[in-house]
Chains A and B, each alone.
Chain A
Amino acid sequence: MSNNEKLLIDVGSTYFKVSTPGKIEQHFRDFNKDILDDLMSKCDNSISRFNKEDVFICSSANGGLSTLIIGITNSFSLKYATNIAFNAGINIIDTILYQDIQDASIPSDLIDVVIIVGGINSLGNIFSEELYNYLSKIQYSNIVFAGSEKDAALIQNNIEHLITLPNIIDSKLHIVEDHLREYLTNLYQKDIEGKRDIKNLYSITANQIYPTPYIVNKTLPLINARFSVANPFILLDIGGATTDIHYSKDLVDENIVTENQYDRMVFKKLGVYKSKQSLIFTAKNNEFVYELLMHLKVTENIFLEQSEKATKILMQLAIFLVLCKMSHYRQAYINLKLLAINSIVLTGGITKVLLKEDVEDIVSFFYRKILTSDHNPTTIMDTNYDIWTLAAEDN
């Protein structure tokens, strides 16, 4: 069967998209309805034309797994585990530096997975009672240890239902990502399948439902098939709830050496619909935002408006804030070399609202004001959701 005969569906936190050989439809989700009912009420004609074998669905609608990582340093165990978790498609990551665990706050929500990491295999006695005391106060569904081999048996004896995986740090302090990444990917997959809303979608597809970030990351090596993108590049997917950033590995000088060409990171609570209030809060705390608003010829009253113009300004702000978050040392868990970026690719709903010129305006404002540079990477707008369909078709 040719690729042209596939039906592709992406269920996001705010919109869903349906791609048939002839067209791509985008619909705002009705949150009072089950996803399947909502889909069928809006796209029944398109969906019913296809066999279950030809329907391919990806979803980021359930927000993914919430993760708590306990590690012993920021530069190695915490950084490596965060990198692995982001690349496994996880959005919500909190970290605790083990030496500060006694003062760490106790999360009130149920955590989907706790990851304990730290130390090379020849180092022992890293973790002690403080870890077990902390774990006894929090609620979690899964717990995994991927640290020093020497500590594994002791930790296994002290923590019920613990899964032990090979260490994510080798004897040369390099990252070993395969085992933890596979574990988290499978857990994410099970989580997606376990959600009632998503489970119902299997009545229209015979194929596995994948997390959207996994699909997008798979597209990046193929991106030049549809766009003229100059490496190194970043891809910004500013969604309703979170912002996903996929970036060429050439943009980091970090100590993480893997075979991935592209990595992913997420800014949670930075979105233009579900996370709108959080976005506005972040904006108000950024000293350059008022200058940006002036540049865009609006005042902060725009935050109170519910208009098309307000949405547009909010999206422009989101681009600026994401770039800001990546530009300051240690704001993200890694630092990107923003002056080395040759292309910025934008995908998602933002491309339906903003024009290329609107984005270019913000990007050049950012480089001028924050990095005091005339550097001007080219902007590429994925207006037709090619990034998503490319990998979904290839799947």
Chain B
Amino acid sequence: MKVVTGVVGNDIHVVANRLIDLSLQARGFEVFNLGVNTYLEEFFDAAVETGAEVLLISSLNGEAEGWGREVKLLKARYKNLDELIMMIGGNLTVGSGNAEDIVPKYKGYGFDLVCHQVDLNTGLDQLEEFIAQRKTQ
């Protein structure tokens, strides 16, 4: 299965990005890593060019908060991305915040899976479960 990943916005947390890339590969995913400082449009465009089924955005400095609001609007411009699994993970707020508030907010932005301050492997387990569920539907 193909996954597009990268760090959104003006965020250069490359170590986490690399770890996500390696962990996804270890689980058998074909990874297209756009690296750090990635615009939202590039994520969707990469999904179109590769035919990826999953988009996994990471963010550590809280910038996702701003970019997240644009997701629905931008995704709506694409004609063939309705089935794309949308996942976001990392530190998803500026300063402190709790998952009970943050997760529903990002789901409202259009993400299927939201992992705020969740361990990487736990997050990827959730992704695999979600994919398995989707297949049975």
Asked if A pairs with B, the answer is yes
Q: Given known contacts A99-B78, A99-B79, A172-B32, is B49 in contact with A120 (CB within 8 Å)?
A: yes
A75 near B80 (CB under 8 angstroms)?
no
Interface set, chain B 53-81, CB cutoff 8 A to A: 78-80
Q: How many residues of B contact A (CB 8 A)?
A: 16
Q: Residue among B32, B42, B46, B49 with the most chain A CB within 10 A?
A: B49
Q: Given known contacts A172-B32, A173-B32, A255-B34, is B42 in contact with A75 (CB within 8 Å)?
A: yes
Against B, the Cβ 8 Å flags (1 = close, 0 = not) of A311-349 are 000000000000000000000000000000000000000
The answer, yes or no, to whether B51 is at the interface (CB within 8 Å) is yes
Q: Which residues of chain B have C-beta atoms less than 8 A from A172's C-beta?
A: 32
Q: Which residues of chain B have C-beta atoms less than 8 A from A99's C-beta?
A: 78-80
Q: Which residues of chain A have C-beta atoms less than 8 A from B41's C-beta?
A: 74-75
A120 near B79 (CB under 8 angstroms)?
no
Contact partner, A73, options B32, B34, B39, B45, Cβ 8 Å:
B45
The answer, yes or no, to whether B103 is at the interface (CB within 8 Å) is no
B79 near A173 (CB under 8 angstroms)?
no
Can you name the residue of chain A whose Cβ is closest to the Cβ of B80? A99
Q: How many A-B residue contacts, CB cutoff 8 Å?
A: 43
Q: Which residues of chain A have C-beta atoms less than 8 A from B86's C-beta?
A: none
Q: Which residues of chain A have C-beta atoms less than 8 A from B50's C-beta?
A: 119-120, 122-123, 173
Name the distance in Å between A375's Cβ and chain B's nearest Cβ.
19
Chain A interface main SS type: loop
Contact partner, A119, options B34, B51, B79, Cβ 8 Å:
B51
Contact partner, A118, options B34, B49, B78, Cβ 8 Å:
B49
Q: Which residues of chain B have C-beta atoms less than 8 A from A53's C-beta?
A: none
Contact partner, B45, options A74, A123, A253, Cβ 8 Å:
A74
Q: Which residues of chain B have C-beta atoms less than 8 A from A120's C-beta?
A: 49-51
A253 to B9, CA, bound (A): 12
Against A, the Cβ 8 Å flags (1 = close, 0 = not) of B79-106 are 1100000000000000000000000000
The answer, yes or no, to whether A77 is at the interface (CB within 8 Å) is yes
Interface set, chain A 161-180, CB cutoff 8 A to B: 169, 172-173
Contact partner, A123, options B39, B42, B44, B49, Cβ 8 Å:
B49
The answer, yes or no, to whether B48 is at the interface (CB within 8 Å) is yes
Q: Which residues of chain B have C-beta atoms less than 8 A from A72's C-beta?
A: 48-49
Please report A residues at the B interface, Cβ cutoff 8 Å. Answer: 72-77, 99, 118-120, 122-123, 169, 172-173, 253, 255
Please report B residues at the A interface, Cβ cutoff 8 Å. Answer: 32, 34, 37, 39, 41-42, 44-46, 48-51, 78-80
4 smallest CB-CB distances across A and B, nearest first, come from A73-B45, A75-B45, A123-B51, A75-B42
Between A and B, 29 residue pairs with Cβ closer than 8 Å are A72-B49, A73-B45, A73-B48, A73-B49, A74-B41, A74-B45, A75-B42, A75-B45, A75-B46, A76-B45, A76-B46, A77-B49, A99-B79, A118-B49, A119-B49, A119-B51, A120-B50, A120-B51, A122-B50, A122-B51, A123-B50, A172-B32, A173-B34, A173-B46, A173-B49, A173-B50, A253-B37, A255-B34, A255-B42
